[in-house]
Amino acid sequence: MAQAQRSAQDITAQNVAMRQALLATAPRMTKNVLTVTAGTSQTSRIKLFNVGVLTKLYLTVTAAITIGTAIAVPSTKAPWNLINRVRLTDYDGTDRVSISGFQLFILNSVRWQQYYLFNNDASTAVATLPTVPTAIGNGTIQFILEIPIAFDVDNEIVQLQDLRGAILGQTAVGEMYLSIDWTNSLYTNTDLESVYSGAGTTTVVGQSTNYITCIMHQEYLLPQAIGQNGQIPIPSIDLMTVYELNGNVRSSDNLAVSTEKLINYPNVRSVIGCYANYVQAASLTFGKLNSIRLIANGNNIMKDHTELLQVAKQRLWMRSDTIAGCYFLLHRDKPIETALFGNVQLGLTPNTVGATPYVETLFESFYTKGMALPGIAQAG
């Protein structure tokens, strides 16, 4: 037993050493992968380059639209709900990322602890991001979203850079794709899911069939041989760990006033974040929940917050608010190991249930892959 523990400690120590060596020696590269165009209800599928150690993707989205008849009112989820779903599938067919555009914005904001890419520091903006036109006439929607692959390559979250989740892309075998499902509708009156939800007499259409343009950038580390033996530093544990963003899941059953809605945490995961949006009466609004609880095995109450306390804690983390009706529980310091805790659930108790209510969830987790690494082999 002691020998096994020492062996595990040695492997972990070697992984940390390889991680530090890779970060210290590998150039940081950003590649403009592809520009695609698309229209409403279409899907864009982008093949990633098989290079280096993949750490992050960026999407720069532009949509040329025309607003007619009356000033348009953006949805609370605009402009990020121009994207219905982002899905990243790695070489073995595993979905590492499955998330809505709006959830990705909330995740980006929580990771960076600020309203993501909004300019709050200067009276005059160098660049307006995001852009959501409302005036009658031609206009351009524009925003940028970041898709994290490695957990914390830029010290966003922890003091020590953390490459868990990075993907070794330097392989001649296999292909990796990012798929983007675009919105089904630019405008639907009083519908949160469309980019514009009002006013009742307005019209919003694309200026052409393929009115959406998306530029994808790929960030990666380019490993370099080091030492007399020309060893390539590969942190094997980091690359065998999946940083999973499992979202875009909606549940509308068992939503009733003063009745707790239970949502299961994913099994066999190390969960570091749970995100939930409560939508009712086609709106995201504060003051619609009595309580937010974290429950293990049906009776062990780990957290029991009023909605106001929950929002206060979120404000302290973000140094600002997110969007009303959006909630997150972070477990970065002590991950929820569902294999050890058993059945873990998020409990939401509404005080108001309007028309077509649902809860949209995202779980941010780690798990270990059970397969050999592709690509580069270390020199012996």
pLDDT band at 376 (very low <50, low <70, confident <90, very high): very low
Answer yes or no: are the C-beta atoms of 29 and 221 closer than 8 Å.
yes
Render pLDDT for 80-95 as a digit per residue (tens, 0 to 9).
999 999 999 999 888 9
Quick one: 341 and 263 in the same domain?
yes
Quick one: 146 and 211 in the same domain?
yes
Quick one: 274 and 198 in the same domain?
no
Q: For the residues 315-320, what does the mean pLDDT come to?
A: 92
Rounded CA-CA distance 141/62 in Å is 6
Q: For the residues 351-356, what does the mean pLDDT come to?
A: 95
Quick one: 269 and 233 in the same domain?
no
Report the CATH number that the domain containing residue 313 is assigned in CATH: 2.60.120.20
In the chain, the amino acid numbered 375 is: G
Q: For the residues 18-43, what does the mean pLDDT come to?
A: 95
Quick one: 92 and 204 in the same domain?
yes
Specify if 40 maps to a domain. Answer: yes
Question: Which is more confident, 192 or 158?
Answer: 192
Quick one: 234 and 256 in the same domain?
no
The DSSP string of 19-54 is HHHHHHHSPEEEEEEEEEEE-TT-EEEEEPP--SEE
Domain end position, chosen among 238, 272, 296: 238
C-alpha neighbours within 13 Å on the C-beta side of residue 299: 0
Tell me which residue of 186, 265, 235 sits closest to 373, measured CA to CA. 235
Rounded CA-CA distance 40/206 in Å is 8
Specify if 9 maps to a domain. Answer: yes
pLDDT band at 378 (very low <50, low <70, confident <90, very high): very low
Six-digit token string for 350: 């509404």
User: Is 32 a residue whose pLDDT tops 50?
Assistant: yes
User: Is 380 a residue whose pLDDT tops 70?
Assistant: no
pLDDT for position 110: 95
pLDDT for position 375: 45
Domain around 305 = 252-368
Specify if 244 maps to a domain. Answer: no
Q: How far is residue 138 from each of residues 101, 150, 196, 377, measured CA to CA in Å?
A: 23, 39, 15, 53
pLDDT for position 160: 66
Specify if 302 maps to a domain. Answer: yes
User: Is 3 a residue whose pLDDT tops 90?
Assistant: no
pLDDT for position 119: 80
Rounded CA-CA distance 146/325 in Å is 22
User: Which of 40-49, 147-156, 175-184 is the least confident region?
Assistant: 147-156
pTM for the model stands at 0.92
Question: Which is more confident, 122 or 212?
Answer: 212
Domain end position, chosen among 185, 203, 238: 238
Q: For the residues 173-190, what does the mean pLDDT come to?
A: 95
Quick one: 82 and 122 in the same domain?
yes
User: Is 355 a residue whose pLDDT tops 90?
Assistant: yes
Which residues are CB-neighbours of 92 under 8 A, at least 6 positions away?
174, 369, 371
Q: For the residues 107-127, what does the mean pLDDT come to?
A: 82
Specify if 138 maps to a domain. Answer: yes
Specify if 247 maps to a domain. Answer: no
